[in-house]
Structure 1
Amino acid sequence: MKDKVLFIGASGFVGTRLIEVAQNDFDITNFDKQQSHFYPEITVSGDIRSQEQLDNILSGFKTVVLLAAEHRDDVNPTSLYYDVNVQGTRNVLAAMERNNVKNIIFTSSVAVYGLNKKNPDEAHPQDPFNHYGKSKWQAEEVLREWHKKEPDQRSLTIVRPTVIFGERNRGNVYNLLRQIAGGKFAMVGAGNNYKSMAYVGNIIEFIKFRLLNIQPGYDVFNYVDKPDLNMNQLVAEVEKSLEKKIPSVHLPYPLGMLGGYCFDILSKLTGTKYAISAVRVKKFCATTQFDATKVHSSGFTAPYTLSQGLDLTLKYEFVHEKKDDITFVSE
C-alpha cells in the first residue's frame, strides 16, 4: 500500500511537477481552490481558509505537503498574505491534529531573510522586507510551535527555496529570460550582483526525497542550485543556450529606480499591472545569494545542474515547438 499524501495547493507550477515525479511512489490527492490542468482526477476543490473543508479532506492521510500561498508582489488587500499564509497554516495544523496526521512538509521562502544579506544560512536572523516574507516567517513560527507539542512523534520539514524557474513558468525569471533572449534587455547596474536560483526539476526532487525519508524531527533547508550566477554570467548562459549574441544596455541604478517609480505611478493611475516596478528593480539589483550547504550535504543529489535547468527552460520556451499553451503565473 502506498502512503496517502495530501498536497495542498498543487495545481500550480511547482505542485504540478511534484505530482508528476511523486505519483508512482505515493497515493496523492491534491486539495486546491483551482482545478489542476494536468491532474483533475486527483484534485479536490477547496480553500485552506475553510477549517471544515480541511477537517473533512484530511481523514486517512499520513503526510501533508503544504504548497498553497499568496506570493505575488501585488496582492491586494495585503491582509490576504496573512489570511492564507498564516491562518491557512493554522487551519491545516488544526485539521491534522483532528485527524492524527503527524507529518508535514512546508514550502517557505528565502524572503524571510530580507534583501542584501551576506549568503545567509538557515540559522541567519529573519528580516523580511515585504508582507510575503513576513507572513511566511509567521507561518514557520506556527509550524515550529506545533512540532514542539510532540517533537518525538511529529515530522516537520521547512524548505526555503530561492526564486524557482522552469518550463511553463511565467514569473520574474521568465520575464528576465524573455527580455534577454529577445535582445530587449537593459542591465540596471554593473551586473555583478549574484542571484541564487532553483530549477523546478531539482526542488521537486528534493521534496520527494524528504517524502521518501519521513521521520520524527524538525529540519529547515534553504534550497538553491549552486554555483550562483551573477547577472552578467546569466546573460552569457542565455547566449550559450540560444547560440546568439545578446546586445545589452547598462543603466545606472538611480535611473532604473526612477523608471520603476514611474511605472508604479502609471499603474495606480491606469489600474494596469506592469512587469516593471520599483520593488522589482530593487530586487533585480539586489544580491540574493543564499547558503545551501545543508541541503546539498543531506544525502540529496540534484538531478540537474543550474546550467542544464536554464538550457532546458530556454529551449522549451524559445526554441522548441510547444504542444499546448498551458502556463503558470508566479513571481
Structure 2
Amino acid sequence: MLAIIGGSGFIGTRLSNQLKESNIPFKIIDIEKSSAFPDHWFYGDVTDPESLIKPLEDSDIIINLAAKHKDNVYPTSLYYDVNVEGARHICDAATKAGVKYIVFTSSVAVYGFVEKETGEDGQYKPFNDYGKSKLEAEYIYDAWQLNGSDRTLVTIRPTVVFGENNRGNVFNLFRQIASGRFLMIGNGKNQKSMAYVENIASFINFSTTLSSGRHVFNYVDKPDYNMDNLTDIICNAMNKKKSNIHIPYALGLLGGYFFDFLAKISGKEFPISSIRIKKFCARTQFKSDNINKTDFKPPVSLEKGIANTVLYEFMKK
C-alpha cells in the first residue's frame, strides 16, 4: 500500500490517476480532501504528528509531496514548520508504523542559482527559505535512512513542474505568452529546465521499485529550452504570432521591486515581483546523471507536454 502524503494536490492527483490505472493500491493523506479520489482520502497534517499515525497503518511505502513552496509564504517560519518539522514528524510516524521505504520530493532549489548545468553532485547554495528548508528536510530523511536496518530513501529533486490544472508561476508565464501580450525580459537566451507533471508522476511511481538504500535523483525533462524557444513552442501550438519585444533586465527588475513595494503596503499579492523577475531571467539548467543510469523513460516529450498544457488551458472550448 502506497501512502501519498500531500496527495490531494497537483502532482499527487496525477500520480493517483496513474496508480489507479495500474491497479496499485494507494491512500491519500492530506489536510485537504481529495476532490478526485475522496474514497482514498484520510485526514493528516504533517505539522500534527499524531494525525499521521492511524492513516499510515498498513502502509508499505510513504511518498511525501506535502510542502510549502510558493515564493511569498508569510511568515517564512511556515516553510520550516511544514517542510522541516513535517519531515521529522513523517520519519517518526514511519518508524512507529514500521514503514521502511520513503520517497521524498525535495527540489533543485537546494542548489540555488546555478551557473552551469548541474547534476546530483552539485554544490548546495539555496538562496531562499524554500530551498533552505528543503535541504534541512533532506538531512532529516538521510538520518532516518541511516539509523535503521533495511531502510530505503528516495530523494527526488524536481525542477519547476508544470501541467494541466496547475496555477503556479509557469501557468502565469504560459498565460502571458498565450495572450499575445508577453514582453520578454532580458535577451531570452537563458535556458530553463522543466518537468511535465505526467512525467514526474511516472518517475515517482518508478521510484517505489528501487533496491534498498539511499537514492538521489534530479528530475528534469530534456531538452532544455531557452525562453525564446519556449515562446516559439507555445505560439506555434496556439497558431499565434510571436512578439519580439524585449525589455532590458535592469528595467524589468526595477518593475519587480516596485510591485514588491506595492505588495508590502497593500497586503496584496501581485503576479510580478523581484524574485520572480530574477528567476525568470536566471539560467536554471539541471541534469540527472542518476536517472540516466536507470531504464526509466518519460512517457511524454517535453514539447508535447507544453503543447498539451497550453491547448488545455488557453484554447477556447
Counterpart contact for 1:183–1:248, Cα < 8 Å: no
TM-aligned CA deviation for residue 320 of structure 1? 5.6
| C-alpha distance in 1 between matches for 2:67 and 2:82 | 6
| C-alpha distance in 2 between matches for 1:199 and 1:126 | 24
| Paired residues for 1:232-243 under 5 Å | 232-243=228-239
Q: Which residue of 2 aligns with 1:326?
A: none
Q: Which residue of 1 aligns with 2:120?
A: 122
Counterpart contact for 1:185–1:248, Cα < 8 Å: no
Over residues 183-237 of structure 1, what are the superposed CA-to-partner deviations in whole Å (9 max), with x where a residue is unaligned? Answer: 11111110000000000010001111112x1431111100000010000000111
Unaligned runs of 5+ residues in structure 1 are 322-331
After the TM superposition, which segments of 4 or more aligned residues of structure 1 sit over 3 Å from their partners? Answer: none
Counterpart contact for 1:181–1:246, Cα < 8 Å: no
| C-alpha distance in 1 between matches for 2:104 and 2:64 | 5
Q: Which residue of 1 aligns with 2:162?
A: 165
Give the partner amino acid of 2:135: W
The 1:248–1:170 alpha-carbon spacing in structure 2 relative to 1, beyond 3 Å, is farther
Corresponding residue to 2:200 among 203, 215, 218? 203
Give the partner amino acid of 2:207: R
Identity score, percent = 46
| Paired residues for 1:139-288 under 5 Å | 139-150=137-148, 153-211=150-208, 213-288=209-284
TM-aligned CA deviation for residue 319 of structure 1? 1.9
| C-alpha distance in 2 between matches for 1:131 and 1:265 | 20
Question: Which TM-score applies when normalising by structure 2?
Answer: 0.97
Counterpart contact for 2:119–2:287, Cα < 8 Å: yes
Instruction: Report SS of the residue matched to 2:42.
Output: strand
| C-alpha distance in 1 between matches for 2:4 and 2:258 | 40
| C-alpha distance in 1 between matches for 2:40 and 2:115 | 41
Corresponding residue to 2:46 among 38, 45, 48? 48
TM-aligned CA deviation for residue 136 of structure 1? 0.3
| Paired residues for 1:23-172 under 5 Å | 23=20, 24-150=22-148, 153-172=150-169
Unaligned runs of 5+ residues in structure 2 are none
Corresponding residue to 2:303 among 307, 317, 327? 307
TM-aligned CA deviation for residue 25 of structure 1? 3.6
| C-alpha distance in 2 between matches for 1:100 and 1:269 | 49
Corresponding residue to 1:297 among 287, 293, 297? 293
| C-alpha distance in 2 between matches for 1:54 and 1:28 | 15
TM-aligned CA deviation for residue 57 of structure 1? 1.8
Q: Decide which moves more: 117-126 or 72-81.
A: 117-126
State the superposition RMSD in angstroms: 1.1
Give the partner amino acid of 2:286: F
| C-alpha distance in 1 between matches for 2:60 and 2:237 | 42
Instruction: Report SS of the residue matched to 1:220.
Output: strand
Counterpart contact for 2:192–2:227, Cα < 8 Å: yes
| C-alpha distance in 2 between matches for 1:248 and 1:19 | 41
Instruction: Report SS of the residue matched to 1:292.
Output: coil
Give the partner amino acid of 2:119: D
Q: How many residue pairs align between the two structures?
A: 316
Counterpart contact for 2:43–2:55, Cα < 8 Å: no
The 1:72–1:127 alpha-carbon spacing in structure 2 relative to 1, beyond 3 Å, is same
Q: Decide which moves more: 261-270 or 113-122.
A: 113-122
Corresponding position: 1:21 with 2:24 = no
Give the partner amino acid of 1:51: P
Counterpart contact for 1:261–1:278, Cα < 8 Å: yes
